[in-house]
Amino acid sequence: MRFAKPLAKLVAEFEKLPGIGPKSAQRLAFHILRISDDQARALAEAVLDVKERIKTCPVCFNFTDQELCEICADPERDHSLLCVVAEPRDVAAVEKTNEYRGLYHVLGGVISPMDGIGPDALRIQELFARLADGTVREVILATNPTIEGDTTAMYIAREIRSTFGDNVRVTRIAHGMPVGSDMDYADQATLIHALQWRREI
Amino acid sequence: MKVYVDSGIVIRRIDLGEKDRILTIYTKEYGKLSAVAKGCRRPGSKLAGPSEPFVHSKMMFAAGRDLDILTQADVRESFPNIRRNVTTASYAIYILELVDKFTEERQPNSELFDLLLSGLYMLESETDPELTTRYFELQILKALGYEPHFEACLRCGNLPRSGRIAFSPSLGGIHCCSCSAVPNDAISIPVALVSYARVLKAVEPNRVRDLRFPTGARRDLARVLKWHIRYRLDSDLKSVNFLPQGHIGAATQPRSN
Ligand SMILES: [Zn+2]
Ligand SMILES: [Zn+2]
């Protein structure tokens, strides 16, 4: 079936989204056609708004619409505890557990020799800059239990130890999750368990 | 639906959608193949562990329309020591990439499968990871018919007793530097290197741990094999820059002088 040009264009845009195949793209496009003009405008504005207003926090590199993100700006949180994650969505996964009261550091990826991604491509220097003032006493490495996540954690642990010695405790989130799964999909019980049972590496 | 079982090692994987992965697996009976591991990124998935690189499993596949599906996997060896150490993990990943780059899908080579498995076991058992990797490079080249020659000059058949000779990737071996024009891709090496290379080519895998190579021989052999492999593949390996010796000869190809 051939679509009118504007419709075909919308379908094509939806298809570019992760997890959306041709069938779902068509379904979404037809749904948009059915909704009211106001609803459609609200959706379009939300998309533009998020692109315009959401920036990365200059300290932890999580997404935020403030100068400093809410977590970094919160004096109630434990500033001596730093949880290192790969992506902003991992911050959301840990926050959902309501168990963790420290700060975060978002690396922006993981070391992946298979894809040619080395430590220089991640925000590791920025992490070390944060550790330099001595406020942080413990770093919790919460990367996924995959080969890339493990390699990243081991690399950071080694570098921290050689730079800061015993001044910074390094722990790895004790994964109750099976090897290979994404933290993003970890259920809350598993994550809470993992946060409580982190181990020294 | 056709179902088949094989012993396989995951050599590469890419995410598919939100929960799946496409695995590239080197199997004993079928050679390299691709298969989808559905739901393997979900916590609790039985396929999560078997979908990780260099994990060796007994696998069951179902033939699909586009891609085959990995339906079951029973882990035989997950190589925990390799994973525990950044250096050995980097060498293991490099070995996987070598196998991936040197093979086509569905070209059975059970000798290569055994070689890959023994390479991983050598790294797991804490055999010197650098020598293990050089050993693996020499053996995979041999198994695929790209073996580099270190016996004598490939032009005149002589081997000087001392001094320096050349290794030429395009020639596929050594050149004595005196009988004819030296190929212009030649790498200058000491004659002494050929005995180290010959030992490593001929030794049994379980004896590699007994070998002692001086730093210079390690460096020269790494360089020679890097350029020999690069010439055969006509491309760079992504993971080579992650090896402790990765910087050697990285920028430009050395010329003989
Ligand atoms: Zn922040
Ligand atoms: Zn000659």
pLDDT digits (tens, 9 = 90+) for A38-71: 999 999 999 999 999 999 999 999 999 999 999 9
How large is the average pLDDT for residues A181-201? 60
ipTM score here? 0.72
Query: Would you list the domain boundaries of chain A?
Result: 5-53, 76-180+189-194
Q: Does B241 touch chain A (CB under 8 A)?
A: yes
Task: Tell me which ligand sits closest to the C-alpha of residue B182.
Answer: 2
Handedness of CA A138, A144, A148, A151 (dihedral sign): positive
| C-alpha to C-alpha distance for B21 and B11, rounded to whole angstroms | 13
Long-range contacts of B175-180 (CB under 8 A, 24+ apart): B176/B152, B177/B256, B179/B153, B179/B155, B180/B155, B180/B156
| pLDDT of B242 strictly over 50 | yes
Domain A5-53 matching CATH 1.10.8.420: the answer reads yes
DSSP classification of residue B101: H
Who wins on pLDDT, A193 or B235? B235
Contact B143, B204 (CB under 8 A): no
| pLDDT of A194 strictly over 90 | no
Name the CATH architecture for the domain at A76-180+189-194: 3-Layer(aba) Sandwich (3.40)
Contacts of A186 in chain B (CB under 8 A): 43
Who wins on pLDDT, A97 or A91? A91
Amino acid present at A70: E
**Alpha-carbon Rg for chain A in angstroms:** 20
Q: If you write DSSP's letter for every residue of B47-62 in order, what string do you get?
A: TTGGGSTT-EEEEEEE
Instruction: Decide if B45 and A178 are in contact by the 8 Å CB cutoff.
Output: yes
Instruction: Decide if B48 and A181 are in contact by the 8 Å CB cutoff.
Output: yes
| Gap from A161 CA to chain B (nearest CA, Å) | 15
B112 Cβ contact list (under 8 Å, min separation 6): B26, B31, B99, B103, B140, B143, B144
Instruction: Work out the pLDDT band at A192, boundaries 50, 70, 90.
Output: low
